[in-house]
Structure 1
Amino acid sequence: MDTEAPHTQRGHSSSGTGEERPRSAFSRARGAGADGETQEAGAAGSGRQLTWRRAGLLGVVCTVFLLLFSNFVVQPFLIPSRSMEPTFAVGDRVLVNKLAYRFGEQPRRGDLVVFDGTGSFVPESAGRGPVGGLVHGAASALGLAEPSDTDFVKRVVGVGGDDVVCCDAGGRVAVNGVPLAEPYLYPGDAPSTVPFRIVVPLGTLWVMGDHRSQSRDSRDHLGEPGGGMVPVEKVIGRADWIGWPLARSGGTGGRHG
């Protein structure tokens, strides 16, 4: 009687099942090593992703903070033209103090102001599209792009109620009969080659550039609606400092320079 046959068959049958065969110690070690390396690689990848997320979040927070700061406190303003030489040069980053007139103080003669010229220096227009305007506005607010076509920087020469004349017998601009000393004028420039006499309406400003021969200012809009006057409510802030380049950084030489 073949008593081993059933055992042999059961043995073959058991080897054909889906049960896992025992592995050698080397095989187990190699598998464990591969699993460990995979886990380490996964952990490293997760760490890198977390670092990038944190960096991205930090960048967003910093950008939002700078935008809020520039919208309400101090805004960099890129000088795009020669109209304010020698006070400001092309490419200067001027820091505009937006709190200067926020608490009741009014612009005074000699102040360097940044203002929205819409309706006074430039006509009302559609301007940029909403997306383009948003992107350009953000870049301008950070001082990375030229200001809006409707933003200007000039010096206040007359305030509401002033009688401003050019020129007196000495060829100077006079306010309320008093000739102005204008040491900030571009060397060689006359105070004005355009004669005028105006009384500044209350709530408005008469403004001029320091480089009079290169500046389109209140004089150029005398015959237009508003007569070249800038409403005080359109003033964005006072240009108190030059932030860049470092060689020119410091006070602007205005009333508070």
Structure 2
Amino acid sequence: MDTEAQHTERDRSSGPADGPEEGSRFTHVPDPQDTDPDTLASTSTSTDWGRSVFLGMLCTVALLLFSTFVLQPFLIPSGSMEPTLRVGDRVLVNKLAYRFGSEPRRGDVVVFDGTGSFVQEPESGGNPVAALLRDAAASLGLAEPAGTDFVKRVVGVGGDRVVCCDERGRLEVNGTPVDEEYLHPGDRPSGVAFDIVVPDGTLWMMGDHRSNSRDSRDHLGRPGGGMVPVERVIGRVDWLGWPLGRLGSLEGTEAFTGIRPADAHHG
């Protein structure tokens, strides 16, 4: 009886208070409520931040692709196209306007690369990363366009004879006077007399603010004569995107309605 009593006392004294025996097959499973809330919050915040960065990059890439091939915002940097376009306006350039066989027409307002016609070939050099970022910002309308990009109105197309000015001070295209209602108030059609024939595949460009526009007239007598190759046209200005008070499509002009074809005039 004494021996059984001693065993009983030993069994009662050993238990949970002494902890699990070495080699026990039981494992402690932590209660989820015991997890540090700060750790959970940190993990969730990191995941949300990473998702936001990814979505932001995806949207930026999509906008750049859309701007490159379809519709590009363009910041107007000067007053050469006033009153049609003003400094600080943001216009939307339709890059599909001339992609499927169509060509610029007289009266169109277009954005074009003036390299080789309005400006010399740019010298290579500089920081390529900075140039890439600048071009990306310009393509989204957040910065001024490259120094080689211009916005002007098409006045003459291939084969046209453009003359200024007739006895009443008007511009003539293929012998027909043009009533340019879009000109800046008080401006003459041109302070420089000229009589040119536009070569095929090129355009004669002029700004609406003639007294404040460096355009095809300023390159007469130079290589190219101020003629812009059609393939240098980036797109047609179809809409005003900013300011909100002027939001909408760009008004067209009837100034060139009735102009005879170049062949008929020369014949």
Which TM-score band applies after superposition, normalised by the shorter structure? 0.7 to 0.9
Aligned residue number for residue 254 of structure 1: 252
Distance 2:32 2:85 in 1: 66
Shift of 1:35: 7.4
Q: Scaled by the length of structure 1, what TM-score is found?
A: 0.85
Q: 1:65 corresponds to which letter in structure 2?
A: A
Deviations 1:204-255 (A, max 9, x none): 0000000000000000000110000000000000001110010111122235
Does residue 163 of structure 1 match 2:161? yes
Matches for 1:39-188 after TM superposition, within 5 Å: 40-126=37-123, 128-188=126-186
Shift of 1:37: 4.5
Match of 2:207 among 206, 209, 212: 209
Distance 2:91 2:253 in 1: 15
Distance 1:229 1:206 in 2: 5
State how many pairs are aligned.
Answer: 229
Shift of 1:131: 1.5
Distance 2:138 2:204 in 1: 26
Deviations 1:160-200 (A, max 9, x none): 00000000111000000001111100000000010000000
Deviations 1:50-74 (A, max 9, x none): 1001100110000000000000000
Off by >3 Å, runs of 4+ in structure 1: 32-35
Query: Unaligned 5+ residue runs, structure 1?
Result: 1-19, 23-31
Deviations 1:28-50 (A, max 9, x none): xxxx7997241x32221111111
Aligned residue number for residue 15 of structure 1: none
Query: Unaligned 5+ residue runs, structure 2?
Result: 1-16, 20-29, 255-267
Distance 1:231 1:98 in 2: 16
Q: 2:66 corresponds to which letter in structure 1?
A: F
Q: 1:228 corresponds to which letter in structure 2?
A: G
Q: 1:134 corresponds to which letter in structure 2?
A: L
